[in-house]
Every structure is written in structure tokens, then in C-alpha cells.
Amino acid sequence: MNIQEFQANLFSAALASGFTDVEMYYEKKEVFGCQIFKGEIDQYEIAEDGGISFRGIFNGKMGYAYTEKIDDASIPFLLDNAKENTLIINDEDREEIFAGSSHYEQGNFFSTALYEVTIPEKIQFIKDVERELLALDTRIVATDYCMIRTETVSRSLSNNKGLSLTDGMNYLYVIVEAIVKDGDETKTSFEFTVSKDFHNLNAKEIAKKAAEEALSQLGSKNIVSKDYPVLLRNDAAANLLATYSPNFSAENTQAGISSLKDKLGTQIANHKITIVDDPFLEDGLASRTFDSEGVATKKLTLVESGVLQSLLHNQKTAKKEQAETTGHAHKDSYKSAVKVGPSNLYIEPSDLSFEDLLATMDEGILITSLSGLHSGANTVSGDFSIAANGFYVADGKVQYPVNLMTIAGNFYQLLQHVEEIGSDLTFPLSPIGSPSVLVKSLSVTVE
């Protein structure tokens, strides 16, 4: 059924049944994905996906409901559930339906050229990646993850206060896992590539990067477990920052589960650290012109030279602190409630190259990947103890790969103990990015 028609019916039924302010959020997605195994298509995925979320104020309280079945029969389902939900909500901090910002910046997150890339072109490309990968070295074996995927997402938000917004984006990504086997030793690596510029992607380069990363880990050795200076390579540093990024949300500070509570204006990190959130970042995976409440987005500095300048706010958290929303209302999808979340958040790069950072290390560990962040990192206390892969560094040079390790420390202490920041900002298939980060010391345990 036509979505405008559905919205008109929904709004009039909602207002007739006692809702005062109402909003509809609609998301639509087109997906294509293909996975190759030994030169053949192994998995192929094509989809049209979408759903709507209704929010409305009933007796002064906000009720929510969503549906993926868009037909007239869903309207009473949405209204009954949203209404019943307002009855059990007893939070005094009220959500509001937003009438609109005075100005919305234009964002161009959609590439027509990318949208026009055909399915056969994409399949051929990913076949090329696998062929190049397997040809590079006899120790490389066929892998499960050699896939290409494109997504096109459009979202729209309208309410009965006259707001009607829409934006959209598309992106392509390639994931390649390289598995290398040498005798009893098996090592793996994941290479992520995100781009809107399909015709400049180079299959051989992607394959080579994945292969080198896995091959370089062969022949790993044991070293003494102790505290070492640690260089977190850009992608590993970004993954760690992503794990702790919810702590920059005012929702978490207000709930008492983020230690950044009452830290505005204080030095929470080394002066070399500046953290920004940029909703207009080119090729950003979380770029957006309006947030999930319809507030216009803009670039925000969270940490400047180590000093906490701002937290991320939506209307509700801002009101609680007599502040302005920063345009960071966030919904994971139409199925979610309005929470607070970053757009493209990253540590600003310096002008020191990765090699410059490495050269400053007399002895230390280079960490190239982290795993188990979802369980080994406590976002409340800041403590982490996580599995890591990496290399032993001496005299400013990578010496050899180290057996599986854990690195342990505390995120807040780590921020204070940062010694240098690199220039190599990256976003590893994520809207959270970082350059490489050199840390004074972390506890390293080797298997």
C-alpha cells in the first residue's frame, strides 16, 4: 500500500482515538550481497526491506509501536499497543514530538554511480578478489568470507507539527577473510573495504592486504607476560573506542552507568586527544541530515585537547540538564526507541605516520586486532581484558608475531596515558574511527 496514504490514515485514526502529537518514521532498504567460494557463487542475497515506527502522545506520555506489515489492519495494532504502553511508562522526563529546526544542511550521502553498478559487475569483482587471493601464496586456503554487499537506505520522518524530512544513503562493502595454514599453524585475517567509488576499487590490492595480514602472523612466538608500551593500530583502536563510545551519551551519564558524569570541562584524556562527531563526514556510515527526532545535525567536538567539552544529547537528556539537544537522538531502526547515539565519531588524526609511531618504541607490542570486546570490556567500570593479536616491537621495528595475547587495562586510564596519535584515521566497517594510538603501558599476557 502507498506509504503516504498509510500515514494519512494512521494520523487521522490516531488523533481520533485521543493521541495529541503523532509521528511516523519510515525506513526502506535495498540489499544485495554475494559470497564466493572456490570461484562459484556460494551465497546470494537480494532484498527489499522496510518498516514503520509510530510515536504518539497520549495523556501526556509517549507511546511507541512498530510494524513491518504495512496495511490498514496494522493501524489498530499500532494504536492499541502504543496506547497501552503509555499506561505503564512512569518516567517523568517526557519525550516530545519536534516541530523542526530552523535550518537543515544538505547532505549528499547517495551515489547514483554506485546505485547503477550492476549485479554481474559486483559478482565479477568479488570473484576477482578471491582468485587473486588464492593465487598469492600456496599457504592460503579458500575462505568462507569473500563477499560483496551493497545497501541503499532511505528514511523519512513526519509528524502532525508540520515536519516532513527525508534523506538516504548507499554504500558498498567488501569483506575478505584470509586463512593461511602452515604445518600445524593456522592464522586468519579480516580485510574490510567500504566505498562509494566502485570503479576505483582494486581487487588485487584488497586480496594482497588480506593475505599479507594473515601471512605476517605465521611463526608466532611466546614472549614474557608483563606490562608493555602498546601501539594500537588504527582499526584496533577504533574498535576499542567504539566499545566505549556509549559512555559519551548523556543518557548513560544520567543513568549513572558512565564515569563521564560531572566531568564536563575536566581533563579526561591526554592533551593530544580530540574527539569529534561529524554527521556530514564523506563516506561516513552514519551520516545523516536529521536525527531520529527530526533535529538538524551538526558537527560537534566532544573532547578538545583532552578536555571533555560536550556529551551527546537528545531532546529529553538535554532538557534534564537545561541544555540544548546536540542532534544525537538515535534509533537503531524503526523497531527501537529514541535513545542517544553518535553519528560518525572519531579521534582526530595528527601528522605522525604509523611508521613514525613505531619508530619511537624501544620495546613494546603492536596490536593489530582485538576480539571479544562485547564481553571482555566492562563499559561501566572502564576495565577491559581482551584477546588480541599482534607483534613484538624492538628498536622501532616489528620483530615477529606473538602468540594469542590478552591486553588488560582501563579505558579512562588509557585515555590519560596516550603518548602519541597517528595520522592514519580509519573506520573499520563502522561509523567509529581512530588513527593508531600509542599507549604508555598495558598489561599483556601471552598464551
What part of residues 365-424 is at the interface with another protein (CB under 8 A)? 371-372, 374-376, 378, 380-381, 383, 385-387, 404-410
Q: Per CB under 8 A, does 447 bind another protein?
A: yes
C-beta closer to another protein: residue 105 or 447: 447
C-beta closer to another protein: residue 189 or 287: 189
Q: Per CB under 8 A, does 111 bind another protein?
A: no
User: Which of the stretches 230-238, 306-314, 335-343, 358-366 binds another protein when contact is defined by CB under 8 A?
Assistant: 335-343
CB 422 within 8 A of CB 234: yes
C-beta closer to another protein: residue 301 or 336: 336
Cα(32)–Cα(119) distance, integer angstroms: 8
User: Which of the stretches 194-202, 253-261, 268-276, 287-295 binds another protein when contact is defined by CB under 8 A?
Assistant: 253-261
Q: Where are the beta strands (DSSP E) in 372-436?
A: 383-394, 397-410, 418-421, 432-433
CA distances from 249 to 145, 290, 404 (A): 34, 18, 33
CB 133 within 8 A of CB 145: no
Phi/psi class of residue 265: alpha, beta or left (left: φ > 0; alpha: ψ in -120 to 50)?
left
- Residue the block writes with cell 527489499: 48
Applying CB under 8 A, the site for another protein has a residue count of 76
| Binders in 298-317 for another protein, by CB under 8 A | none
Q: Per CB under 8 A, does 335 bind another protein?
A: yes
| Binders in 256-275 for another protein, by CB under 8 A | 256-257, 259
C-beta closer to another protein: residue 18 or 76: 76
C-beta closer to another protein: residue 301 or 443: 443
User: Which of the stretches 157-165, 183-191, 302-310, 432-440 binds another protein when contact is defined by CB under 8 A?
Assistant: 183-191
Q: Per CB under 8 A, does 216 bind another protein?
A: no
Minimum distance from residue 356 beta carbon to another protein (Å): 29
Minimum distance from residue 333 beta carbon to another protein (Å): 10
Cα(426)–Cα(49) distance, integer angstroms: 29
User: Which of the stretches 60-68, 101-109, 205-213, 283-291 binds another protein when contact is defined by CB under 8 A?
Assistant: 60-68
Q: Where are the beta strands (DSSP E) in 197-250?
A: 226-232
3-state DSSP of 320-332: HCCCCCCCCEECC
Take residue 271 and report the three cell numbers written for it: 592533551
DSSP 8-state assignment for residue 248: G
- Residue the block writes with cell 544538505: 106
Q: Per CB under 8 A, does 229 bind another protein?
A: no
| Binders in 23-52 for another protein, by CB under 8 A | 37, 40-51
User: Which of the stretches 102-110, 235-243, 255-263, 292-300 binds another protein when contact is defined by CB under 8 A?
Assistant: 255-263
| Binders in 148-167 for another protein, by CB under 8 A | none
CB 385 within 8 A of CB 376: yes
C-beta closer to another protein: residue 107 or 341: 341
* Cβ-based neighbours of 43, under 8 Å, separated by 6 or more: 33, 34, 35, 147
| Binders in 70-99 for another protein, by CB under 8 A | 70, 74, 77, 81-82, 84-92
**167: closest CA among 41, 246, 35, 284?**
284
Report DSSP letters for 163-196, one per residue.
Answer: -EEEEEEEEEEEEEEEEEEETTEEEEEEEEEEES
Q: Per CB under 8 A, does 430 bind another protein?
A: no
